């Protein structure tokens, strides 16, 4: 079988498609390069590893310089990584550029996480690069990573990394809760992406009234993936037991006054300078979670 001619034919067809269908050409490459990777994998088993170098030398002359040895090896690696994956949604939502960003990662579970994140959140290439650079997968709990590997159902808090990275122009260990909130609001899109799938912004300093008094929730979000409101309180100190009572009050208020009958119960997230695991351990409401923040 002439593997080279088959590869060349697919590349030439892809080049023609690129010119005619510019708006979708990068996604089209995913399918074409997967097919080419399969042929390269077969050719390597028949003719040995050096065949890629031979093919690349001919393709660079006959088709274009971008089809060098490194590119062909990357295409073969792409096929061999995903040959046994059944991700129909991933193929349609992501471009070749998305896949190329994760090929340098060694752990297939980490690769799955980043690609699913990119597909579910419609991440741009730059956004995908950012979460990889920030080691988001490594900041997930061991329990969450185990769930992902075993394809078990996730809860709303499972994908919230620890620590949460918060961009701020001036690194100040003595910053106020107001300054912390402003830093989050100034990079709101990035903050929401860190929290996981499906978070949308409702408001900050969200005013609630009980009797003749008013209180203000730091951040109120809604998660359409899990169909619930999410109350976020910011603390620039170590987690304290009174923080639990405060956020529980806010969660109950939202459940009684804002939540609709078809919504699930409100979740509470306390973002604090330092977590106190003993306080969370003895908290009776498992809808409340605590995560540390790190200024970057």
Assess whether pLDDT exceeds 70 at residue 284: no
171 vs 165 pLDDT, higher one: 165
Query: What's residue 279's pLDDT?
Result: 74
**Average confidence score pLDDT of the chain:** 88
State the burial class of residue 210 (Cβ atoms within 10 Å of its Cβ: 0-12, 13-18, 19+).
exposed
Q: What is the pTM assigned to this prediction? A: 0.83
Residue 158 and residue 79 share a domain: no
Say what percent of the chain tops pLDDT 90: 60
Residue 253 and residue 158 share a domain: yes
Residue 163 and residue 70 share a domain: no
Final residue of a domain: which of 55, 84, 113? Answer: 84
Q: 135 lies in a domain? A: no
Q: 124 lies in a domain? A: no
CA distance 87 to 77: 17
Ramachandran quadrant class, 94 (left: phi over 0; alpha: psi -120 to 50; beta: rest): beta
Rounded to the nearest angstrom, the gap between the alpha carbon of residue 228 and the centroid of all alpha carbons in its chain is 20
Final residue of a domain: which of 49, 84, 119? Answer: 84
Query: What's residue 237's pLDDT?
Result: 92
Residue 158 and residue 64 share a domain: no
Q: 198 lies in a domain? A: yes
pLDDT in tens, 173-192: 668 899 999 999 999 998 99
Question: Are 66 and 28 in contact, with CB atoms under 8 Å apart?
Answer: no
Please state the domain count of the chain. 2
Alpha helices of the chain — where are they, by DSSP H? 3-20, 25-47, 51-62, 69-82, 88-93, 96-102, 108-120, 125-133, 142-149, 177-186, 188-195, 241-257, 277-281
Residue 287 and residue 166 share a domain: yes
Residue 281 and residue 165 share a domain: yes
Residue 79 and residue 166 share a domain: no
Residue 162 and residue 75 share a domain: no
Look up the CATH number of the domain holding residue 192.
3.40.1350.10
Q: 71 lies in a domain? A: yes
Q: 109 lies in a domain? A: no
Assess whether pLDDT exceeds 90 at residue 233: yes
Residue 261 and residue 171 share a domain: yes
DSSP 8-state symbol, 259: -
Final residue of a domain: which of 84, 108, 142? Answer: 84
Residue 62 and residue 175 share a domain: no
Burial 128-147, CB ≥16 within 10 A → b, else e: bebbbeeebbebbeeebbeb
Assess whether pLDDT exceeds 60 at residue 236: yes
Query: What's residue 175's pLDDT?
Result: 81
Q: What is the mean pLDDT of residues 207-225?
A: 93
**Confidence bin at 24 (pLDDT 50/70/90):** low
Which tokens is 263 given? 């919504």
Query: What's residue 16's pLDDT?
Result: 73
Q: 271 lies in a domain? A: yes
Assess whether pLDDT exceeds 50 at residue 23: no
Residue 159 and residue 291 share a domain: yes
Residue 174 and residue 54 share a domain: no
CA distance 221 to 228: 9
Its domain, for residue 258, covers: 154-295
């Amino acid at each position: 079988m002439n593997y080279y001619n088959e590869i060349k034919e697919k590349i030439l067809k892809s080049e023609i498609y690129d010119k005619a269908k510019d708006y979708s050409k990068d996604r089209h490459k995913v399918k074409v390069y997967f097919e080419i990777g399969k042929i390269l994998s077969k050719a390597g088993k028949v003719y040995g590893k050096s065949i890629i170098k031979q093919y690349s030398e001919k393709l660079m002359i006959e088709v274009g310089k971008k089809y060098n040895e490194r590119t062909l090896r990357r295409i073969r690696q792409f096929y061999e990584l995903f040959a046994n994956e059944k991700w129909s949604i991933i193929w349609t939502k992501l471009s070749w550029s998305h896949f190329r960003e994760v090929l340098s990662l060694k752990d297939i579970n980490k690769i799955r996480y980043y690609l699913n994140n990119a597909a579910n959140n419609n991440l741009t290439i730059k956004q995908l690069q950012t979460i990889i650079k920030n080691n988001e997968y490594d900041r997930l709990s061991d329990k969450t990573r185990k769930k992902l590997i075993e394809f078990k159902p996730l809860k709303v808090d499972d994908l919230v990394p620890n620590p949460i990275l918060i961009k701020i122009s001036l690194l100040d260990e003595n910053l106020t809760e107001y300054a912390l909130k402003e830093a989050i609001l100034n990079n709101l899109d990035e903050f929401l992406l860190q929290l996981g799938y499906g978070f949308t912004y409702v408001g900050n300093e969200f005013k609630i009234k009980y009797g003749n008094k008013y209180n203000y929730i730091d951040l109120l979000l809604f998660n359409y993936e899990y169909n619930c409101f999410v109350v976020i309180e910011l603390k620039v100190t170590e987690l304290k037991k009174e923080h639990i009572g405060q956020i529980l009050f806010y969660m109950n208020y939202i459940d009684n006054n804002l939540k609709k009958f078809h919504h699930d119960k409100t979740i509470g997230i306390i973002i604090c300078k330092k977590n106190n695991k003993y306080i969370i351990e003895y908290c009776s409401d498992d809808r409340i979670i605590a995560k540390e923040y790190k200024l970057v």
